[in-house]
Structure 1
Amino acid sequence: MLQLKDQLHTFLRCGIGDGNTALFWYDYWAELGPLHLLFGTTGSRSLRIPLTATVSRAVTNGHWNLPPARSDFAETLQVILSTTTVPTSTSGADVYLWRLSSGGFGPSFSSRVTWERLRVATPMVPWHTVVWFKEEIPRCSFISWTAFLGRLPTRDRLISWGLSVPPGCALCSLADESISHLFFLCPFAVAIWTRFCGRYLASRPTSLADIVRLCQQLSGPHASRAVIVLKLLNQVIIYSLWRERNTRIFTGVSSTQEAIFRRVDRAMRDRLLSLSRPTASAPSPSLLELYFWFLDPYS
């Protein structure tokens, strides 16, 4: 608990008013930081202030009241307090201040600012917009995200962990199961992707990186909106193939390629039908109409 409080002091300060709320030893109210970190376990005894005391305990008759300094730390504290405003009842309540984006401190807390300062920033991955976009289906985007991270427990990964599992693809049994094979190279997956080739997809993708490239380079009428359909289609196909793979492994029940295609088609229609249509001021095909172009490249 103390370690958590110590980390919190990086983002939290305390502005002293009447001194009745701020903890003398544990809050960051003096320039020296939390005093318990400076004085250690003997601080309470040397300054004659209990560990649970508030800052007001160090004030008597409107003046700071500490015993004579017996260490360099105590002497430094007294020097700092000599230029620190003494808490009074007319100064209002103590105020906790949170780290701002500018680096200073203010009375309002922002989870976004705090998170940005807590997290370790890494370069943005090129596939983030293929996974996260407002038209996504959450259950599908999660599986897609896990696939891009290489974290799906495909059989090649299970074997690398030392588990004794058959290496063959659960959908075709023609090659070892991996993310690339399962979603793009397996004949079962190839058959699903081929159904959508034509106007926007000249050929089926062969890897996750290929999907990113296709989304970045998609051209043709209404390409900026068609790329939304392509990203959603990628996620729905990956989700449907992963679900079919698990069903075969854990229940022994198999679906045909046509059944999987219809499952993908139904999910795409339901999601795109729920999205708003273009406005009259900017006429263009709806996302659902663009999806029909994937199904019928000559429409």
Structure 2
Amino acid sequence: MWRKLLKYRGIARSLVKVEVNNGQTTSFWHDQWSDLGIAADLVGERGVVDMGIGWQKSVAEAWTVRRRRRHRDDLLMQIENTLHLQWEKRREEPDKQLWKGAKKYITKFSTKDTWNHLRTTSNPVDWHRGVWFSHGTPKFSFCVWLAVHNRLSTGDRMLQWNVGASGQCVLCNNTTETRDHLFFECGYSAAIWTELAKNIFGPRFSTNWQANLDFISENHLRVKGFLLRYVFQAAVHALWRERNGRVHGEDLNSSSRLIIWIDKHIRNQLSMIRLSGDKRYECGLQLWFASRI
């Protein structure tokens, strides 16, 4: 893992700079202490000779161990001038490491800002509310995210990789397993989904994957929206886990057993939210109990 992280050192360097004060802990050559960039990247090893500053010297040492020089090279003169300006602004305080924030460099590291700088941005998708939401369970959200992109190893996809594989649905043994069949056109999964979601979804109830995804991704009142999304994700994850268990020879679970498990998990999640102190979801358990009548 550490070797993989080390591959990103170059990217990390572009997100860090130093606010020079006394210059004692800032490397002249290897830290970004000016807007020009990292000196070693600008002039290379030859710069050690031209500038008269050792490879391991700090900015403070660059101020004191040599005299200011004149150079024919414009870039070297820019570095000299910038170094002199930093000396004029020096303060008897420790240097500060700064991380690139959303709009400016800040002293506190932000995972969110760093990720936004690293990732490739694109337009928001219509289904993002149905996948990523407050108080969701990460493994459920990730499973649904894979399903949205049709990246789960369902039977139809396995047949593309290996024509000799069995692509039959292991839950009903009636047809080829696809994402849309598994969630929730299959007789086994449809029975579970109907029992859990029919009342809470109301007239918009469906066993069609896209119809359900579209509905939970719409704007809803906070608590009902959470329940719509959470029951959907809990059901998808439970069915996928049951499917994998059967593929690998584990004992079969009845639909009633999965319904009990999913219902219990939803109740536990709502209780945990209440215990966390988030009062916005206080009526969650009441609404869920009402839908189970």
Does the CA contact (< 8 Å) of 2:23 and 2:58 recur in 1? yes
Q: CA deviation at 1:199?
A: 6.7
Is the partner of 2:17 in helix, strand or coil?
strand
Residue equivalent to 1:22: 26
- TM-superposed CA distance for 1:69, in Å, is 2.6
Contact 2:216–2:228 under 8 Å retained in 1: yes
Normalised TM-score (structure 1)? 0.78
**Alpha-carbon contact 1:237-1:264 (below 8 Å) kept:** yes
Contact 2:63 2:87 in 1 (8 A): no
Residue matched to 1:288: 285
What is the TM-score of this pair, normalised by structure 2?
0.79
1:28-43 matched pairs, under 5 angstroms: 28-43=32-47
**Identical positions, percent:** 26
5 Å matches for 1:104-119?
Answer: 105-119=105-119
Gaps of 5+ in 1: none
**Change beyond 3 A, Cα 1:256–1:203:** farther
Task: Give 1:285 shift.
Answer: 9.3
More moved, 235-244 vs 253-262: 253-262
In the superposition, relative to structure 1, how do residues 21 and 139 fare at CA in structure 2: closer, same or farther (>3 Å)? Answer: closer
Q: Which runs of 5+ in 2 are unaligned?
A: none
Q: Judging changes above 3 Å, is the alpha-carbon distance between structure 1 residues 256 and 17 closer, same or farther for their aligned structure 2 residues?
A: closer
Partner residue in 2 for 1:212: 213
Instruction: Give 1:67-106 correspondences, 5 Å limit.
Output: 69=71, 71-86=73-88, 91-103=92-104, 105-106=105-106
Residue identity opposite 1:288 in structure 2: L
Between stretches 223-232 and 41-50, larger displacement belongs to: 223-232
2:268 is the counterpart of 1:264: no
Q: Secondary structure at the match of 2:97?
A: strand
Larger radius of gyration: 1
Give runs of ≥4 in structure 1 deviating > 6 Å: none
More helix by share: 2
Please give the secondary structure, in 2, of the residue aligned with 1:21: coil
Map of 2:158 onto structure 1? 158
CA contact (8 A) 1:200 1:294 kept: no
After superposition, residues 243-262 of structure 1 pair within 5 angstroms as 243-262=241-260
CA spacing shift, 1:166–1:158, aligned 2, 3 Å? same
Count how many residue pairs are aligned between Structure 1 and Structure 2.
285
Given that residues 216 and 225 in structure 2 are in contact (C-alpha distance below 8 angstroms), is that contact kept between their aligned partners in structure 1?
yes
Listed one character per residue, the Cα deviations across residues 209-263 of structure 1 (whole Å, up to 9, x for unaligned) are: 31233336699xxx65333322222122212211211111112522233333333
CA contact (8 A) 1:148 1:208 kept: no
SS at match of 1:96: strand
Change in 2 beyond 3 A, CA 1:5/1:23: farther
Structure 1 position 162, deviation (Å): 4.4
**Superposition RMSD on alpha carbons, in Å?**
3.5
